[in-house]
Structure 1
Amino acid sequence: MKVSDSDRTILRMLQANSRERLETIAMDTGLSVATVQRRIRNMKANGTIMAETALINPKSVGYAMTFLIFVELEHERIDQIDAFRRKAKAESQVQQCYYVTGESDFALIALARNMEDYEQLTHRLFFNDSNVKRFRTSVVMDRTKVGMDVPLG
């Protein structure tokens, strides 16, 4: 899909504030409000805009700890990979899950209220799964940069 300069401006503005007024976007792009609205609708329909969400500070709702978890599976059959993907997607404390190359098969970013909460998470995700060979965890000391913004040039 080709993304025009106007579309990049629209996307840049929506990444900064997903509730930006159509009139403001129209003024910055030089397009009409109707055209901006149509382009946003099309970008949602074709998957360019995947979702509109609020960014919540985890500590403010009781999640004081963030973890990077690297998971190695015993067997890498497609059905077993898909089973782990489904389990990670279903776990509310897993913020992000990536199927990766290298020593690990998956990299997860997860939240926990405390170490006991994290231990319970590991039992649900790893210890009760016979296909998890091992997992390594790093505790995040500081959330230096958090975001999902895509560079738009």
Structure 2
Amino acid sequence: MPKLTEQDRALLRILQEDGRITNQELAERTGMSASVCWRRVRAMEEAGIISKYAAIPDPTAAGLNFQAIVHVSLARTSKDYVRTFMDEVRNRPEVLQCFAIAGTPDYHLLVMCEDLEAYNRFYTEFLFERSCVGQVSMHLIVNTLKSDMKLPV
């Protein structure tokens, strides 16, 4: 797909606010015909610009009262250790986001659990048991000032 047009950006802004909007309403709000609107959205889906549609629950309302940023340094940065860690962290439901960063530590994880006991299980049964993990530090999230996944398009 070529560079995003202003129409594409308008579609993305609206869809990020309401992924359940009808094509007809989306077309009306962007000043396009329904068929053009549908084709533009479909083209962005096929190009991978729109990767999925999802409901975004409130973590506290969903019972995830323990939220933390966890910093992980690997014991070694060999290809095997990195691959093992990446594969295993992708399969952990407590890890909502994982960022590999330049510098120290190697990874920042956004972790959400029901409570401290659930986090301790995650820590002792997962992180602590991985030979690829060298050091772990945790920063408890006490207040979320902004949590948004909308891109500034």
Shorter-normalised TM range: over 0.9
Q: Structure 1: 5+ residue runs without aligned partners?
A: none
Note if contact 1:70-1:107 (Cα within 8 Å) is conserved in structure 2. yes
Please list every run of at least 4 consecutive aligned residues from structure 1 whose deviation after the TM superposition is greater than 6 angstroms: none
Partner of residue 95, structure 1: 96
Alignment of 1:1-153 (within 5 A): 1-152=2-153
Shift of the alpha carbon at 1:120? 0.5
Q: Is residue 73–residue 106 contact of structure 2 (8 Å, CA) maintained in 1?
A: yes
User: How big is the shift at 1:28?
Assistant: 2.4
**1:39–1:142 distance in 2 versus 1, CA, 3 Å:** same
CA contact (8 A) 1:74 1:131 kept: yes
Distance 1:80 1:74 in 2: 8
- TM-aligned CA deviation for residue 33 of structure 1: 0.9
Higher mean alpha-carbon deviation, 82-91 vs 132-141, is at 82-91
Q: In structure 2, what residue type is equivalent to 1:32?
A: S
CA-to-partner distance for each residue in 1:75-97, whole Å, 9 max, x for gaps? 11233212211111110111111
SS in 1 for 2:83: helix
Scaled by the length of structure 2, the TM-score of the pair is 0.94
**Counterpart residue type for residue 64 of structure 1:** N
Q: Does structure 1 conserve the Cα–Cα contact (< 8 Å) formed by 2:14 and 2:26?
A: yes
1:137 Cα offset (Å): 0.5
Contact 1:88/1:125 (8 A) holds in 2: no
Query: Residue 50 of structure 2 aligns to a residue in which SS?
Result: coil
TM-score by length of 1: 0.94
Aligned residues: 152
Deviations 1:67-117 (CA, angstroms, capped at 9, x unpaired): 000100011123321221111111011111111112111110011111111
Q: How much does 1:61 deviate?
A: 2.3
